[in-house]
Amino acid sequence: MSHLVLSNEDFSVKISPLGAELHSFFSNKLDRELLWQADAKHWARHAPILFPIVGKLSNDVLIHDGQRYPLTQHGFARDMEFETIHHTNEHAQLRLQSSKTTLEKYPFVFELLVEYLLKDNTLTTTFVIRNNQETSLPFSIGGHPAFNWPLHPDVGKESHAIYFEADENTPLLQLENGLLSAKTLPSPIQDKKISLKESLFENDALIFDGLNSNKISYRAANKCELEMQFSDFPQLGIWTKAGADFVCLEPWIGYSSPKGFESEFTDKPGIQLLPGFMELAYNFNLRFSVF
């Protein structure tokens, strides 16, 4: 399957129509790939789009009007072919529409547009959700890009950190077998900073809800940084797998079902309700700088 390519002096970007997934975010100035290139051992994805759910549902089942629909972790968009609507050297727009296949898992009529815009040293990803029915459309959506760790070839993994824009003291949400636990975790942020180490992720992802910060910076010592601005997204996940050389920075709208929640999908905590025949747009920016 051929990629859609965006490029300028700063970057070369590759996008796969399968899942509208970012497959490459290559820094021309650093002459280095910034995005995790996937492997079968650790994680065979790059930057999947999470829709119409983020995380898991109890028993992998969506309940709507008393009917039960099979819907697995993070939804189906990441594994479906998107239609390319527009493509230039700086911009790509892809679309996924509801179909017989999606209605068997998610009984709602929708349209999902994913747009990538490359301008100078910034890549903007935009999600547009359209409700093509009279009744409300319940959904969650999120990004899941994985970035190489180490980010810079001359900086060891232990010299990487994530810096937050503001002070953050709110406890983190915690997962238990993929579902939201009633327990929380103390925030690992100290002086607006998390020093990255694998032990942070022994209990799965770090899940931040109600952040004061609208942006974070993933920094390789004093060599380079990748800044993510995500003001449209109320949740943020940070995740890696043991032994893997990547860290995921994930802007989310929504999260896994609470443990024991088996009620109507529209009542699920974190779910968004889009009125009939309306649309919503959310975007996040990635800006990379070499010091």
Q: Where does the pLDDT of residue 1 fall: very low under 50, low under 70, confident under 90, or very high at 90 and above?
A: low
Q: How would you class 77 by CB atoms within 10 Å of its CB: exposed for 0-12, middle for 13-18, buried for 19 or more? A: buried
Question: Has residue 284 got a pLDDT over 70?
Answer: yes
Mean pLDDT, to the nearest integer, of 267-275? 98
- Look at residue 230 in the predicted model and tell me its pLDDT: 98
Domain count of the chain?
1
Decide if 254 contacts 233 (C-beta within 8 A).
Answer: no
Decide if 217 contacts 194 (C-beta within 8 A).
Answer: no
List the CATH number of the domain containing 108: 2.70.98.10
Return all residues near 15 (Cβ < 8 A) that are at least 6 apart.
Answer: 3, 4, 5, 6, 21, 22, 23, 92, 94, 116
Percent of the chain with pLDDT over 90: 98
Q: What is the pLDDT of residues 204-224, one digit of tens each?
A: 999 999 999 999 999 999 999
Q: Where does the pLDDT of residue 191 fall: very low under 50, low under 70, confident under 90, or very high at 90 and above?
A: very high
The candidate with the shortest Cα–Cα distance to 239, out of 231, 229, 230, 250, is 250
- Look at residue 144 in the predicted model and tell me its pLDDT: 98
- The residue assigned the tokens 């009529």 is 109
Q: What is the pLDDT of residues 53-75, one digit of tens each?
A: 999 999 999 999 999 999 999 99
Is 85 strand, coil or helix?
strand
Return all residues near 95 (Cβ < 8 A) that are at least 6 apart.
Answer: 82, 83, 85, 111, 112, 113, 114
Domain of residue 200, residue span: 4-290
Dihedral of CA atoms 148, 152, 153, 155 in degrees, nearest 10, equals -110
